[in-house]
Homo-oligomer: A and B are copies of this chain.
Amino acid sequence: MQYLTIKDAIEEQIDTGMFEAGQKLPSERTLAETFSTTRITLREALNHLALSGKIYKEERRGWFVSTAKLIFNPMQCIDIAEACKEQKRNCRIEALSSHRLLATKEMLTVLKLSPFSYVKQQVSLIHIDGRRVAVQYRYIPEEMTTLLSHDEQTDVLTQLLNSFEYDSEKHEIEVGIIPASQLESDALNLSSGSMLLSINQVACNKSQTPFLLQTIRCCHDAINLKISQTA
């Protein structure tokens, strides 16, 4: 298996520090020539490397060496920015959209709302150390947003969400692998249908009322999920 040899060769060059984290690899054509093979075989090698999280691809821009993963505990934390801060990673949250929506059936169930309730949807793009790594969807029951200022800035909302002092004892999470949607591919600079890690969180406040449904769709090489109840 030629592609495994190539994979190992590139992997070794990364591990021995020939390529720095975040650095772009040579083009597929250059690499194919280097290893005297075709682009198809070379891409096979790169795809396998990407699965292990060592490198990632940006649409039409090339292959890059992954940086260290952010450790995230979705059972304790609903805010990636907070996790970044603790781990001294640079985080920027870019608001993509904010809408008032009729709650879907699933939202009604998990947020325990009455039929035809509205939710506030907020979609954000999360950058860690300059790289686009995740798209975050937040759904908040409309009645709970009346407490909030109508400022759309993420930071304000985030702080307010945190002020709810949610009860981490009552927290439901769903984790899975899904192909990126069009919106996610575009926002994250991925080729359509790329693999994303999907994290669904339902957070409740102290009085056991669910107040937030959050979905994070992230690059699997950027986040390490460590789930525990005790910090």
Contact = CB atoms under 8 A, between A and B. Distances in A.
Interface of A: 1, 4, 40, 48, 51-53, 75, 169-179, 192-193, 195, 197, 220, 224-230
Contacts of A177: 51, 53, 177, 195, 197, 220
Contacts of A224: 174, 176
Contacts of A4: 192-193
A172 B226 contact: yes
27 contacts: A4-B192, A40-B40, A48-B179, A48-B193, A51-B178, A51-B193, A51-B195, A52-B178, A52-B179, A53-B177, A75-B227, A75-B229, A169-B229, A170-B230, A171-B229, A172-B226, A172-B227, A173-B226, A173-B227, A173-B228, A174-B225, A175-B175, A175-B225, A175-B227, A176-B220, A177-B177, A177-B195
A39 to B, nearest CB: 12
A162 B215 CA distance: 33
Contacts of A75: 75, 227, 229
Contacts of A52: 178-179
B48 A171 contact: no
Contacts of A1: 192
Nearest to A169: B229
A171 B174 CA distance: 17
